[in-house]
Amino acid sequence: MNDATRLPTAREHTARLIEALRAVEPELTTVEHWGRHLARVLGDGGRVLACGNGGSAADAQHFTAELVGRYRDDRAPFSAICLSSETSSLTAIGNDYGYDEVFARQVRGHGRPGDVLLAISTSGTSANVLRAAEAAREVGVEVWSLTGPGPNALSERSDASVCVDAPATATVQEVHGVLVHAVCAAFDRVVLGLDDVEGNPTDLLAATEDPPGNGAVVIDVRDKVRTARGGAR
Ligand SMILES: O=C(CO)[C@@H](O)[C@H](O)[C@H](O)[C@H](O)COP(=O)(O)O
Ligand SMILES: [Zn+2]
């Protein structure tokens, strides 16, 4: 059996993962930004949607569960829906409109301007995920994607994306899992007012990273964050 068809040993598998994690390091500022931006969107009553197929469906579901439940520390729940977990919607839409529409139709149903869609695809070419990204942009939902090597069709349909440059689907999925947790940690650092990696208190106002003049949103976030912290002022 030649090297292309041979399945890696556990040691080789782990070595490939370490290499892929090193390669994705320049993208970590993007996922930190996503976490901080989500704190503003969800704190203001917005919503995040997530979707993917197979292992990426599991990643999408894992992500939304961290936000509705909790990542590490206790806090208020936030609105996050995994479109791949809605079995009755998935089967009905798939049956009535075709599998390519299963996520897009849900995006049109749940998404509101300013919301975020996290679209996950290792190939970056799955038709139902591409349709979801297109539908999101049509209704004013921001599209972030986690993909394999890029650029690809999904990254080209996204407002921002992190493309993991690894040849194996399994490795890409494993790196996506790390990135999902990194987004959640950045989100919680803002919501819970925890120190950032340099030991500086995370400043909620700075975290919005929006130009001045959007005061109402910031105030709303502060209220939600106070609730998230259990009402402490
Ligand atoms: O988990 C795995 C492979 O590790 C599979 O279930 C894999 O997710 C499926 O083949 C998906 O259909 C792949 O879709 P995508 O990541 O290319 O969008
Ligand atoms: Zn898998």
pLDDT exceeds 90 at position 67: yes
Among 17, 59, 155, 169, the mutation site with the greatest number of ligand 1 atoms within 8 A of its Cβ is 169
Determine if the peptide bond prior to 151 is cis (ω within 30°).
Answer: yes
Best-predicted range by mean pLDDT among 5-9, 123-127, 206-210? 123-127
Helices 169-191 and 10-23 pack at an angle, to 10 degrees, of 50
Cβ proximity of 147 and 154 under 8 Å: yes
For residue range 4-13, list pLDDT tens digits in order. 689 999 999 9
For residue range 24-65, list pLDDT tens digits in order. 999 999 999 999 999 999 999 999 999 999 999 999 999 999
193 is annotated as contributing to ligand binding: no
Among 122, 130, 176, the mutation site with the greatest number of ligand 1 atoms within 8 A of its Cβ is 122
For residue 146, give the ligand nearest its CA. 1
For residue range 142-153, list pLDDT tens digits in order. 999 999 999 999
* Mean pLDDT, rounded, of the chain: 88
Atom of ligand 1 nearest to the CA of 173: 4
The model's confidence at residue 223, banded by pLDDT at 50, 70 and 90, is low
Q: What are the two backbone dihedrals, phi and then psi, of residue 213, each rounded to the nearest 5 degrees? A: 105, 0
123 is annotated as contributing to ligand binding: yes
Supply the CATH classification number for the domain 34-224: 3.40.50.10490
Task: In whole angstroms, give the CA distance from residue 126 to residue 59.
Answer: 16
The answer, yes or no, to whether ipTM is higher than 0.90 is yes
Give the length of the chain.
233
pLDDT of the residue at 197? 56
Ligand 2 ion local residues (Cβ < 5 A): 55
Atom of ligand 1 nearest to the CA of 148: 16
| Amino acid of residue 35 | G
DSSP H helical ranges for the chain: 10-23, 28-43, 55-68, 87-97, 104-110, 127-138, 153-156, 169-191, 204-208, 215-228
Listed residue (183, 180, 163) closest to 55, CA to CA: 180
Distances (CA, A) of 116 to 26, 41, 80: 22, 8, 10
Kindly give the distance from the C-alpha atom of residue 165 to the centroid of ligand 1, in angstroms, as a whole number: 16
pLDDT exceeds 50 at position 116: yes
For residue range 160-176, list pLDDT tens digits in order. 999 999 999 999 999 99
158 is annotated as contributing to ligand binding: no
First to last CA, the chain: 65
Listed residue (205, 195, 148) closest to 171, CA to CA: 148
Tell me how crowded residue 157 is: count the other CB atoms within 10 A of its CB.
20
Atom of ligand 1 nearest to the CA of 56: 8
pLDDT of the residue at 220? 43
Kindly give the distance from the C-alpha atom of residue 51 to the centroid of ligand 1, in angstroms, as a whole number: 12
What DSSP designation does 195 have? B
Pocket of ligand 1 (CB under 6 A): 53-56, 121-123, 126, 129, 169-170, 173
CA 123 to chain centre: 16
Say whether 163 sits in a helix, a strand or coil. strand
Kindly give the distance from the C-alpha atom of residue 56 to the centroid of ligand 1, in angstroms, as a whole number: 6
Q: Is residue 197 within a helix (H) or strand (E), and if so which, with residue range?
A: none
152 is annotated as contributing to ligand binding: no
96 is annotated as contributing to ligand binding: yes
